[in-house]
Amino acid sequence: MSTETKCNPDLVRERAKCTFDVNELINLFYGSEKATKERRHFEDAVLAVKELKDAIPEEYLSHKERYENGVRKATILRDVYRDYKAKHNRDPPPNQITKAVIKDISPFLLHNGMFVPTIAGQGTPEQQAEWLPKAESMQIIGTYAQTELGHGSFIRGLETIATYDPKTEEFVLNNPTLTSFKWWPGGLGSTVNHCVVVAQLYINGKSHGIHPFIAQIRDLDTHKPLPGVKVGEIGPKMGFQTANNGFLGFDNFRIPRKNMLMKNAQVLKDGTFVKGINEKLTYGTMVMVRVGIVGDCSFYAALAATIAVRYSAVRHQSHIKASEPEAQILDYLTQQHKLFIAVASSHVYRNAYLWMEKMYTNVMKELSQDKQDNLPELHATACCLKAVCSRDAGSLVEECRLACGGHGYMASSNLPLTYGVTIAAVTYEGERTVLLLQTARYLMKAWMAALKGKVLSPSVSYLLNSLKESKKPWQNTPEGIVKGFQHVSFGKVKAAYETIQKYMKQGKDYEDAWNLASVQLVKASEAHSRAILCEVSWEAVCSSSASPNLSRVLQQLAQLYLTYWTLETSGDLLLYSNITKDDLIILRDKYEELLVAIRPNAVGLVDGFDLRDEILNSTLGSYDGRVYERLMEEALKSPLNQETVNSSFHKYLKPMMEKAKL
């Protein structure tokens, strides 16, 4: 029997309506037909491992059991990766199959995502040779321990101390206060035996700023914390339950001199400090991960959209016309308004990620040739795109959840967990406002340079164009809308700059003036991000190699994104661009037309994300649309349904009812 025949008939009809080749979309989204094949092949290999299947949903496990199950599966998954590499002589292709296995977050995320990259990015060739083979083969397990109870954003304020002792050629690590305790690092709780510790370096009583050090914190055989190490887990959170976030404090804990990662700055045997060419290179891992998070946002938006769109095609409720049967909820324009922006945004983030990845690779290449000119642009762009995409993606996931009504509140829909995990990215790897203010610093500098007629970096060069084009009439085209967002950014950057000047003229110093203007500065950064997202995604769609049928639909999605945000931020556009009320009315109508045009392809579009049922892990979103059957099947797995009468009846309910009779 084919999959189609087992499918819910609504989904079969939806798929028959699709006007483009879904496989073409999948191949375009993931890069090529070959990439799709390889990814699916690897996913098959992972899913074939029986031990990776959960006996009961994780929600029924205790906090401890959930973690232990997570570690168990993470180690098996690691073997599958190793075997693939041995067989194919290369890493597995990019994939999201970890989601199908570890439903939440892997306790090894920080090992792979930050510990290994920090050694690779911050270590000398000798240090890389010492630790990378052990870390990559999992002989040692590590994390990235930077944030403390007292400081996360302001990392120059970290209190963990590394004092150099030239007599023994060691660093002595100490956490002198409660607020200096490391707090948050993933895997630290009970998983890792090593970590990169970011600490304040002191030599002969003099501070030399923060630097990364490698510390072994647990015995490799017994896993017991080494003497001088206090380590534990921080407890349940909104999500990340299996990430095993932990705390850590050192008491006169000694590590050899070679354990300071010394690619940038060095401490010589005699205690001489050799400054690096740029102290901000120490923050390199964070930049890399911020770029990766933009890609993650695409995935989470796709996952939530797939669940909510398929569910909305299957779910019937009320009537559009009294004379007709109950409508699929996907036919309500309000539902399309809630969901299609998530589909469109996933594509926008994907294109922005690919664009950022190129910028990152170029800058890394330049840095390896000691050329730093483009580092500030990379930092500023990664900060604002990470900040805006993560917040938007979180809101989109929540909107998808709400769009599934009561069933979206069920854990088995996988939307609550997905929200908890997505929204965490607003905070980790740089809190949203803090990152937007970093971009604002860059924008203020760019603005001052623009005023002096200097050449600007590509990502802000529109500021110069906007300066020249401020009188040109609005154009209701995608290109015109992109320009409109650039004008808004231009207007907000200018206004924030002038606000700072105003406060300074009133006698405030620059720092106070900055703080007083900071709401505007954050908004300027957001507008700058929106301008980038609109420009990059529209250009990607226009230059794509898609067939005419697919290209038409992708252009509709990109236009939907542009129009949605035009209408959402119409006040800004009226203030800072030449858009008129009439233009907005035309765009409102255009937006409604786009929803209607996208509607027949909605299911095809989410099929085009090619997320397997195991990855979706949702009663509402499976390919076959057996929503109600799955909801009941999952409910029956509840431990409360494994007995006809629960003991609480005899212990509490019956006595209560008997007492009530007296």
Ligand X SMILES: CCCCC/C=C\C/C=C\C/C=C\C=C\C(=O)SCCNC(=O)CCNC(=O)[C@H](O)C(C)(C)COP(=O)(O)OP(=O)(O)OC[C@H]1O[C@@H](n2cnc3c(N)ncnc32)[C@H](O)[C@@H]1OP(=O)(O)O
Q: Which of 70, 420, 430, 608 forms a contact with ligand FAD (CB under 6 A)? A: 430
Which of 429/607 has CB closer to ligand FAD? 429
- Binding site partner of 433, from ligand FAD, ligand X, none, Cβ cut-off 5-8 A by kind: ligand FAD
Mapped onto helix, strand or coil, the DSSP state of residue 36 is helix
The 10 Å Cβ neighbour count of residue 482 is: 22
Tell me the closest approach of the beta carbon of residue 199 to ligand FAD, in angstroms: 12
Separation of alpha carbons 555 and 575, rounded Å: 28
Tell me the closest approach of the beta carbon of residue 437 to ligand FAD, in angstroms: 6
- Contact call for residues 520 and 496 (beta carbons, < 8 A): yes
Joined tokens for residue 89: 């002589």
Determine if 41 is a binding residue for ligand X (CB under 6 A): no
Q: Which stretch binds ligand FAD (CB under 6 A): 15-23, 120-128, 138-146, 207-215?
A: 138-146
- Contact call for residues 201 and 211 (beta carbons, < 8 A): yes
Q: Regarding beta strands 142-145 and 194-203, do their DSSP bridges make them parallel or antiparallel, or are they unpaired?
A: parallel
One of 38, 170, 429, 535 is an active-site residue; which one? 429
Size of the site for ligand X (CB under 6 A): 31
Closest by CA to 36, choosing from 82, 109, 97, 93, is 93
Tell me the closest approach of the beta carbon of residue 181 to ligand X, in angstroms: 15
Q: Which of 20, 144, 462, 623 forms a contact with ligand FAD (CB under 6 A)? A: 144
Determine if 147 is a binding residue for ligand FAD (CB under 6 A): yes
Residue 235 has what DSSP assignment? Answer: -
Size of the site for ligand FAD (CB under 6 A): 22
Site for ligand X in 359-388 (CB under 6 A): 375-376, 379
Q: Which of 34, 237, 280, 654 forms a contact with ligand X (CB under 6 A)? A: 280
Which of 380/546 has CB closer to ligand X? 380
Q: Which helix (H) or strand (E) holds 340?
A: helix 333-368
Site for ligand X in 403-442 (CB under 6 A): 428-430, 434, 438, 441
CA-to-CA separations, 578 to 450, 477, 485, 575, in angstroms, rounded: 21, 13, 11, 8
Site for ligand FAD in 218-277 (CB under 6 A): 240, 245
For the chain, give me the number of helices (H) and strands (E)? 26, 11
- Amino acid sitting at position 662: L
Which of 144/561 has CB closer to ligand X? 144
Joined tokens for residue 232: 């534990």
Phi then psi for 196, rounded to 5 degrees?
Answer: -85, 120
Query: Is 366 designated active site?
Result: no
Which of 147/499 has CB closer to ligand X? 147
Determine if 186 is a binding residue for ligand FAD (CB under 6 A): yes
Determine if 521 is a binding residue for ligand X (CB under 6 A): no
Separation of alpha carbons 390 and 224, rounded Å: 37
Site for ligand FAD in 80-119 (CB under 6 A): 110
Separation of alpha carbons 548 and 561, rounded Å: 20
- 80-87's contacts with Cβ under 8 Å and 24+ in sequence apart are 80/45, 80/46, 80/49, 82/137, 84/42, 84/45
- Binding site partner of 441, from ligand FAD, ligand X, none, Cβ cut-off 5-8 A by kind: ligand X
Handedness of CA 65, 66, 71, 72 (dihedral sign): positive
Q: Which of 26, 424, 553, 560 forms a contact with ligand FAD (CB under 6 A)? A: 424
Phi then psi for 210, rounded to 5 degrees?
Answer: -90, 145
Q: Which stretch binds ligand X (CB under 6 A): 152-160, 200-208, 334-342, 525-533?
A: 152-160
Q: Which of 30, 184, 349, 514 forms a contact with ligand FAD (CB under 6 A)? A: 184
Which of 87/452 has CB closer to ligand X? 452
Determine if 76 is a binding residue for ligand X (CB under 6 A): no
Which of 111/347 has CB closer to ligand FAD? 111
| Residues facing 196 on adjacent strands | 144, 214
CA-to-CA separations, 33 to 24, 25, 299, in angstroms, rounded: 8, 10, 19
Q: Which stretch binds ligand X (CB under 6 A): 109-117, 319-327, 588-596, 600-608?
A: 109-117
Determine if 565 is a binding residue for ligand X (CB under 6 A): no
Provide the CB-side half-sphere exposure for 41 (13 A, CA).
10
- Amino acid sitting at position 459: S
Residues that bind ligand X (CB under 6 A): 109-110, 113-114, 144, 146-147, 152-156, 186, 280, 283, 286-289, 292-293, 296, 375-376, 379, 428-430, 434, 438, 441
Site for ligand FAD, rule CB under 6 A: 110, 144-147, 151-153, 184-186, 240, 245, 424, 427-431, 433-434, 437
Residues classed as catalytic: 429
